[in-house]
Structure 1
């Protein structure tokens, strides 16, 4: 195995986050409690992390915190029954090209949901050994830190790839190589202004930047 690790955010880097998948997250709140009109703006929540968002919604509406696990289970059921994951163009080829490196994910989604969605497209196995999600975590920098620690590699041998401003902060604060990825040029520009030195709009460029960062 090569002396390096590449950690991916999931949504926006490996998978599209479809409108149907976003809706699936909120279905359990409507079915169980009749809650409608909950914000789809993930940045409007105190911590952009599925576990914390569930807890925040329950707390805000005076609902028992102990319901969180049931909400998560319902969400996974809805996700499996009503949605179809969509791969970011080139993601599969990128994972194949990086075979031999330690690959993993650090996502704000429930790890179980990420596994379910990636498995549906046969993309789970390459990243499964170093996979961390919302469970037991907080801000994205904490999730990325868990993946870094689990890799047992020096930080200069780790690349993190993300598509949000919190991903930029997570990569820079953890002291690893960071690549800001976005198909949308305006989004890439925002990542650059937030401090991302390396930007990619397609996964051929992502591969080139990973190779440059890890010198292979």
Structure 2
């Protein structure tokens, strides 16, 4: 059992702590539609959790003409920004962060959101007093499912990979953590099913932050303390 204080929980934010997955889905659908790309929302939703580079490859194909990618990203960002003042945390997300900190664990937001989006997410969570470290897209060369943002979170927090648990809502979160042999707890509140998360390698799956908080004492997070 760890004897020092270098233990912590890495949290994805979009769809895991803050209810944004479907807002991103609609924003990407609008951006793609403006450029005459007719992509069903269900396909877009399944891609949320990837960075925009991989998301566009996944939806439009890696061999496409990439000259319009910047405009697509800008259009998404503009649409998504319209929701910032209405962002809300998922059930008991802030309490979960405080409970982890109360157990002596460092709370790390391992998000690949852009820096201006991170500010809106942190405002919605209202838990800066217990958050130790926060990443952003600027900290990762490649987005999930590559593990770069997880590596950045470890580097910035000073946490070793064998003393952390990752919490995320997408298959891409689970895959990224798995590449570093970090156990990942999956939450279905982002719209990905229990079976998909477990099939990707999640060590446990809960409905939302509230359910994880209720089961915290028996979770992989408790095993760190």
TM beyond 0.5: yes
How far is 1:89 from its partner?
0.6
User: In structure 1, how many angstroms separate the alpha carbons of the residues matched to 2:159 and 2:23?
Assistant: 37
How far is 1:92 from its partner?
1.0
Correspondences of 1:140-151 after superposition (within 5 Å) = 140=145, 141-151=147-157
Q: Determine helix, strand or coil for the equivalent of 1:86.
A: coil
- For the 8 Å contact 2:17–2:90, the answer to whether it is kept is yes
**Where does residue 81 of structure 1 map in the other structure?**
82
**Where does residue 165 of structure 1 map in the other structure?**
171
* Structure 2 length-normalised TM: 0.71
How far is 1:71 from its partner?
4.3
Of the three residues 120, 131, 144, the one matched with 1:139 is 144
- Answering whether residue 201 of structure 2 is matched by residue 203 of structure 1, we say no
* Structure 1 length-normalised TM: 0.74
Q: Determine helix, strand or coil for the equivalent of 1:15.
A: coil
Q: Mark the runs of 5 or more structure 1 residues left unpaired by the alignment.
A: none
Correspondences of 1:1-216 after superposition (within 5 Å) = 2-17=5-20, 19-31=22-34, 34-40=35-41, 41-42=43-44, 48-54=50-56, 57=60, 62=65, 64=67, 68=70, 71-82=72-83, 84-99=86-101, 101-107=105-111, 109-123=113-127, 126-127=130-131, 129-133=133-137, 136-140=141-145, 141-183=147-189, 187-201=193-207, 202-205=211-214, 207-208=216-217, 209-215=219-225
The aligned length equals 210
Q: Mark the runs of 5 or more structure 2 residues left unpaired by the alignment.
A: none
